[in-house]
A and B are shown apart, each in its own frame.
Chain A
């Protein structure tokens, strides 16, 4: 199926530092998403993004979080500053359209905040 890439696969940083997670979505997709999964728990939605704007965000998407996709490059999730509770696996997804259209997920970035 369609491939979503994520860079890096693992990241360890100290609390208070900034981190940027990068996502290379499927090339013709228009909608982009970030989800968070704490070890052993279910996937939880953070934010979605379309046409250069955040469309919807959850309570988990704190003020320290931001997303962008400058000029069709990577779709990024930035956390500044990081907190211990940000340790999780972050999955990027993309879909061609919204609604019932399928979201395809990347392999995740495993973030550990010390």
Chain B
């Protein structure tokens, strides 16, 4: 079945460090990829999405490029701030199917120290 793999479970950084979270997917249909961020006690917040090969999504300084060849959608940010501390989820949808469930990765907890 379809799946999403996030390699990093936890990432500890200092402010102004570069952040990379790896996301790879396996899908049989027509994938759409999403990044969500979840702060403690809140629901996931949509960051951005992409649905075409080489399409780049971006928001709040975060970006990711959908690469069909490597089945990846890695999240990057050039200079993190303490306020970026949160759990980040990569999620997989399907272009074809109306209202299709999102398949979430296991999440990456990012901790940024001042």
For residue A33, CB closer than 8 A to chain B, the reply is yes
Name, among A45, A95, A105, the residue most crowded by chain B CB atoms within 10 Å (CB to CB).
A105
A9 and chain B: residue at smallest CB distance: B41
Chain B interface extent, by class: 20 to 34
Residues of B within 8 A of A106 (CB): 43
Query: Could you mark each residue 97-109 of chain A with 1 if its beta carbon is under 8 Å from any beta carbon of chain B, else 0?
Result: 1111011111110
Q: What is the total number of residues of chain A having a CB less than 8 Å from a CB of chain B?
A: 31
Residues of B within 8 A of A (CB): 32, 34, 36, 41-46, 49, 51, 89, 93-107
Between-chain CB contacts (< 8 Å), 6 pairs: A1-B46, A99-B93, A99-B97, A102-B46, A104-B46, A105-B36
Residues of A within 8 A of B (CB): 1, 4, 30-31, 33, 35, 41-45, 48-50, 55-56, 58, 91, 93, 95, 97-100, 102-108
